Amino acid sequence: MDAQNMIQSLGTEARKAAATLAQSSGGMRDEALLACARAIRKSKPSLQEANDKDLALSGEFGLSGAMVDRLRLTDDRVESMAAACEQIALQRDPVGQTIAAYNRPNGLRVEKRRVPIGVIGIIYESRPNVTADAAALCLKAGNACILRGGKEAINSNLAIAAVLRQAIKAAGLPPATITVIDNPDRALVPAMAQAQGLIDLIIPRGGKALIRAVAEAATIPVIKHYAGNCHVYVHGQADLDMAERIVMNAKCQRPGVCNAMETLLIDSAVAKQFVPRIVASLLDAGVELRCGQLAEKILPIVDVSEQVLKEAADEDWYKEYLDTILAVRVVDGLDSAVDHINTYGSGHTDAIVTESIQAADKFVAAVDSSSVMINASTRFSDGGEYGLGAEVGISTDKLHARGPMGADDLTTYKWVVTGQGHVRS
Amino acid sequence: MDAQNMIQSLGTEARKAAATLAQSSGGMRDEALLACARAIRKSKPSLQEANDKDLALSGEFGLSGAMVDRLRLTDDRVESMAAACEQIALQRDPVGQTIAAYNRPNGLRVEKRRVPIGVIGIIYESRPNVTADAAALCLKAGNACILRGGKEAINSNLAIAAVLRQAIKAAGLPPATITVIDNPDRALVPAMAQAQGLIDLIIPRGGKALIRAVAEAATIPVIKHYAGNCHVYVHGQADLDMAERIVMNAKCQRPGVCNAMETLLIDSAVAKQFVPRIVASLLDAGVELRCGQLAEKILPIVDVSEQVLKEAADEDWYKEYLDTILAVRVVDGLDSAVDHINTYGSGHTDAIVTESIQAADKFVAAVDSSSVMINASTRFSDGGEYGLGAEVGISTDKLHARGPMGADDLTTYKWVVTGQGHVRS
């Protein structure tokens, strides 16, 4: 079967499942999620057995050590898949929620009501727990999903899907609620992204190359997650102890992830006090620093030999290092900080450290990013920390969903208009 | 200046205006809208003078009578542009609204807050009142807009924009909030649809060919309005007098618009009583009828010669006639009606006439359309009737906005996270 026929056939089954899900009660979907949690825990040995097959092949696929680590279904990771299903089951049902409702002067009742989107396609790499998390969020919101994971995790993904499908079926909902594609054919990716009328939305999760390839091939809507070039701005009225804790956490706690800080902006009002101590702490932690106007603004106030610090090039302000490297710039006031962020940032997550309510409010209104943090580390920007149970991705798009996406973001709405025989004159 | 440079230059100005608007108060934006209303009323003579220039050229552009009619800025239309600005000013401010807000167990405060989208591009045809309506809705929601109308209305559109820009400037907001492109170069349409980083969203309004051309060229998000293939389903428990009023209104009150009914579905349970009377009324009103299973299901129960009725072809079920033509089908129960609508419909607006709450609920959940009507004519599906003041379009997409789009639909949100020095462990 060629790619298009395969998607046609799987998509048709998924659409039927979506039609059933659109009419299912939230209680039934929650029961299915709890059944999934129990089934995952019970199936741990068989899931890990399937995972072992993938791990055995990881050398053949040339996976790096970090990638092999992400692929591994440890006891903790199996448990956290089950726990995510339970947490998601406990959330309130987004389907059927009233977004707005009012009566018109002519007596017509107008309501904007949340409904499932339909069929969601998710294209992702390596981590097999995405299979369970994404499927659980889609089910919560009444959607069917078609999942296309990487070939390096195919045995794990298929084993997880088999467990979930059986649990969902036993709970009285259609097993085609979850489909994992068992075919490594690359042509399936564009076929999914062009499946108009069958798939309503594609969410790619993975590296930039994957996301770009999906977005370029797509004729159906795509919600994308590009770079996380996150900033921390230490304002002139910052508590500098707090600022240091936040900066160190945002850069060093896990440098390889999208919500780690990549550029530090320091207000010139506190540069003399703050630059020396933060430079010392960051260098101590093994962070390489690339500084704007190194000779003019940094070297005169630090007690560090100039060999240790590097001058930042213009392209450094755009970079998502995902490493222990940090760009540093002294800025003249809040407007300059905002300008820098809106010019070079990626609209992911940007933080201000300040004791001033006015400065915080202005920063929140002016920075055009999906998450804006006040006196908190950028590292909090994710679905788990926001209480979404899990996330189906972090959107750096502005349309439909922005930032970490939970079950609510997997819904659309319909207008429900009720009359008593109303006709228009 | 070539098309790309022109959009680059206009887009840069619009982005600056959007940055100012994002930090403006709702009161200031409402003042600007009221100033626009006053300015439109005061400028009626000069607006109509500009409109006369377009009308004088309409022959040259080969406009049909209906198109010339749509182009004309009558006294009523000028007044309704002003009234729409006032109505929109009186709506509550969507910007800054809290969509969700909660504290996390660690004390972090998480808020999902409505913010403007940024810069919105609107590409449209003929009716010059779209210029004022779209600009007013964008301003209400804190967005700048770049408007590209048709060449046949260019003098009217530029005159309206000049009046609005002056009023907005006098109210203390940037005139680049509204830009009407004064150049008829066709290359500007794809240039707008590819202006990544400058324009955040494109809304095309017009015929299918225009919408398709924009959607195919676009590399930025597009919200589309394709066909309005609307259905009325007369359920087995319908009040047949009400059903007749609704059917006649949905088909005949204004057949050329997207929310007019194109297919009538009659439940077999009431076919014997309802088909003869509705066929007679529709024929009386000059409607041409194309019937499914004409010989089997319709002719035996009507008192009409078979020459008057036509057999429907399969393609009739897909058609948006926009004319006094109606496809008619007898269906066996609610599930068959839903199947028909979800198979052939365009997801625009579909109505059920029924006295049964259960049937209404099931229809609402099962029909996958942007507007679902219960005991009301499909003709109510528009922004004015839904109380949105005006509409920037009717989306038949499922993502971001669905159905008539008002100011709320021209916003996105950002996550605002407030800590007291929170770092992640």
Nearest CB to A377 within list B376, B377, B423: B423
Residue of A258, A197, A192 lying closest to A222 (CA atoms): A192
* Residue B91: CA count within 13 A, CB half-sphere: 25
Using CB atoms within 10 Å of the CB of residue A21, give its burial: 0 to 12 exposed, 13 to 18 middle, 19+ buried: buried
- Of the candidates A420, A413, A421, the one whose C-alpha atom is nearest the C-alpha of residue A100 is A413
Other C-beta atoms lying within 10 Å of the C-beta of residue A286 = 9
Ranges in chain A, pLDDT < 50: none
DSSP H helix total and E strand total for chain B: 13, 16
Please judge whether A399 and B403 are an interchain contact, meaning their C-beta atoms are less than 8 angstroms apart: no
- No. of helices (H) and no. of strands (E), chain A: 13, 16
Q: Which residue of A has its CA nearest to B111?
A: A386
Amino acid at A175: P
């990881």: which residue's tokens? Answer: A58
How wide is the angle at C-alpha A392 spanned by C-alphas A390 and A398, nearest 5°? 120
Reported CATH class of domain A3-225+393-418: alpha beta
Place of tokens 């680049």: B176
CA distance A158 to chain B (A): 29
Which secondary structure element, helix H or strand E, spans residue A241, and what is its range?
Answer: helix A240-252
Q: Give yes or no for a contact between A173 and A138, defined as CB atoms under 8 angstroms apart.
A: no
- Identity of the residue in B369, B373, B414 whose CB atom sits nearest the CB atom of A370: B414
B75-90 and B44-57 helices, crossing angle to 10°: 130
Residue A64: how many CB atoms within 10 A of its CB?
9
Determine whether the interchain pair B404/A397 forms a contact, defined as Cβ–Cβ distance below 8 Å. no
Q: List the single best residue of A119, A251, A417 to mutate versus B (max B Cβ within 10 A).
A: A417
Facing residue for B364 by CB, picked from A379, A416, A419: A416
- Inter-chain CB proximity B414 and A249 less than 8 Å: no
The shortest CB-CB distance from B414 to any of A360, A402, A417 is to A402
> Which residues of chain B neighbour A360 with C-beta distances below 8 Å?
418
Token pair, residue A292, equals 């704007």
Contacts of B239 in chain A (CB under 8 A): 421
Return the amino acid letter for A186: R
Q: Tell me which residue in B201, B368, B408 faces A399 most closely, judged by beta carbons.
A: B201
**B370 and B188 Cβ atoms separated by less than 8 Å:** no
Cα separations in angstroms, A376 against A212, A249, A257, A323, B181: 31, 10, 17, 21, 44
Domain B3-223+405-418 has CATH 3.40.605.10: yes
Per DSSP, the three-state class of A132 is: helix
Distance CA B31, CA B172 (A): 9
Q: Among B208, B250, B234, B229, which Cα is nearest to B343's? A: B229
How far is the C-alpha of B415 from the C-alpha of B411, rounded, in Å?
A: 13
Which residues in chain B are closer than 8 Å to A285, comparing Cβ atoms?
none
DSSP state of A327: E
CB contact under 8 A, A420 and B253: no
DSSP assignment of A350-383 equals: EEEE-S-HHHHHHHHHH---SEEEEEE-GGG-ST
- Beta carbons of A108 and B380 less than 8 Å apart: yes
Q: Do B417 and A370 touch (CB under 8 A)?
A: no
Q: Which residues in chain B touch residue A245, judged by CB atoms under 8 angstroms apart?
A: 421, 423
Following CA atoms A33, A36, A41, A42 in sequence, which dihedral angle do they give, to the nearest 10 degrees? 140
Q: Which residue of B has its CA nearest to A364?
A: B416
* Cβ within 8 Å, pair B380-A419: yes
Structure tokens at A418: 């009720």
The amino acid sitting at A270 is V
B334 vs A contacts (CB less than 8 Å) = none
Residue in chain B closest to A217 (alpha carbons) equals: B219
Inter-chain Cβ pairs, chain A and chain B, closer than 8 A: 213
Separation in Å, CA of B46 to nearest CA in chain A:
32
Cβ <8 Å between A416 and B370: no
For residue B30, the SS3 value is helix
Nearest residue on chain A to B117, judged by CA atoms?
A: A398
Q: How far is B193 from chain A (nearest CA, A)?
A: 14
Give whole-number Cα distances, A375 to A223, A364, B147, in Å. 29, 12, 40
- Chain A residue with Cα closest to B347: A414
Helix (H, G, I), strand (E, B) or coil at B34: helix
Give residue limits of the domains in chain A. Answer: 3-225+393-418, 230-380
State the Cα–Cα distance between residues B123 and B330, nearest whole angstrom.
40
Cβ–Cβ under 8 Å, residues B374 and B73? no
Residues A189 and A203: their CA atoms lie apart, in Å, by 11
Nearest to B368 among A118, A360, A399 (CB): A118
Per the CB < 8 Å rule, is A387 touching B242?
no
In 3D space, the residue among B153, B156, B148 whose CA is nearest the CA of residue B126 turns out to be: B153
Cα distance between residue A327 and residue A318, in whole Å: 10
Give the distance from residue B351's alpha carbon to the nearest chain A alpha carbon, in angstroms.
9
CB-CB neighbors (< 8 A) of A104 in chain B: 385-387
Nearest-by-CA chain B residue for A372: B416
Nearest to B402 among A365, A380, A412 (CB): A412
Is CATH 3.40.309.10 the classification given to domain B230-380?
A: yes
Contact between A376 and B19 using a beta-carbon 8 Å cutoff = no
Are B121 and B195 in contact by the 8 Å Cβ rule? The answer is yes
Return the half-sphere exposure (C-beta side, CA atoms, 13 A cut-off) of residue A392.
34
Residue A254 vs residues A28, A65, A215, A314, B418: alpha-carbon distances, Å: 39, 16, 28, 25, 21
Task: Judge: A419–B117 Cβ closer than 8 Å, yes or no.
Answer: no
Alpha carbons within 13 angstroms on the beta-carbon side of residue B300 total 7
Task: Write out the two tokens for B420.
Answer: 């007291």
Beta carbons of B423 and A249 less than 8 Å apart: yes
Contact between A118 and B398 using a beta-carbon 8 Å cutoff? yes
For Cα atoms A103, A105, A109, give the angle at the middle one, nearest 5 degrees.
25
Q: How far is CA A369 from CA A226, A234, A395, B269, B414, in A?
A: 13, 17, 11, 56, 7
Rounded-to-integer distance, Cα A57 and Cα A52, Å: 9
C-alpha A367, offset from chain centre: 19
- Residue A284 to chain B, least CA–CA distance (Å): 19
- Nearest CB neighbour to B422, from listed A366, A372, A377: A377
Nearest to A419 among B375, B408, B421 (CB): B375
- Which of A253, A366, A402 shows the shortest C-beta gap to B412? A402
The order of strands in the sheet holding A230-234 is A310-311, A288-291, A325-331, A261-267, A230-234, A349-353, A371-376, B411-422, B109-116, B98-103
Q: Is B346 in contact with B396 (CB distance < 8 Å)?
A: yes
Q: Is B184 helix (H, G, I), strand (E, B) or coil?
A: coil
Which residue, A138, A112, A45, A122, is CA-closest to A389?
A138
- Point out the residue among A117, A245, A419 whose CB comes nearest to the CB of B374: A419
Optimal mutation site among A414, A418, A420, interface B, most CBs of chain B within 10 A:
A414
Cα separation, B289 vs B311, in Å, equals 8
Q: Which two tokens stand for residue A212?
A: 């770009």
Tokens of A354: 């300040």
Cβ pair B376:A421 closer than 8 A: yes
A194 phi, psi to nearest 5 deg: -120, 15
Distance CA A318, CA B4 (A): 24
Asked if A168 and A139 touch (Cβ cutoff 8 Å), the reply is yes
Between chains, do A201 and B364 touch, taking CB under 8 Å as contact? no
ipTM above 0.90, yes or no: yes
Taking CA–CA distances from A373, the nearest residue in chain B reads: B417
**DSSP 8-class letter at A222:** B
* Cβ contact, residue pair A415, B370, below 8 Å: yes
Of B277, B225, B17, nearest in space to B138 by CA: B17
* Fold: same for A3-225+393-418 and A230-380: no
Asked if the Cβ–Cβ distance from A423 to B239 is below 8 Å, we say: no
Contacts of B105 (CB under 8 A, 6+ apart): none
CB contacts, 8 Å: A377 with chain B? 419, 422-424
Residue A292: CB partners within 8 Å, gap ≥ 6?
Answer: A311, A312, A317, A327, A328, A329, A330
Distance from CA of A28 to the nearest CA of B (A): 16
Distance separating alpha carbons of residues B213 and B216, to the nearest angstrom? 5
Say how far apart CA A295 and CA A377 lie, in whole Å.
29
User: What distance in Å separates the CA atoms of residue A154 and residue A44, rounded to the nearest whole number?
Assistant: 17
Q: Backbone phi, then psi, for B106, in 5-degree steps?
A: -85, 5
Give the residue among B425, B44, B37, B397 at the shortest CA–CA distance from B202: B397
Residue of B nearest to A112 (CA): B371
Instruction: Note down pLDDT in tens along chain B; length 425 residues.
Output: 799 999 999 999 999 999 999 999 999 999 999 999 999 999 999 999 999 999 999 989 888 888 898 899 999 999 999 999 999 999 999 999 999 999 999 999 999 999 999 999 999 987 899 999 999 999 999 999 999 999 999 999 999 999 999 999 999 999 999 999 998 888 999 999 999 999 999 999 888 888 989 988 998 999 987 779 999 999 999 999 999 999 999 999 999 989 999 999 999 999 999 999 999 999 999 999 999 999 999 999 998 887 899 999 999 999 999 999 999 999 999 999 999 999 999 999 999 999 999 999 999 999 999 999 999 999 999 998 998 888 888 898 999 999 999 999 999 999 999 999 999 99
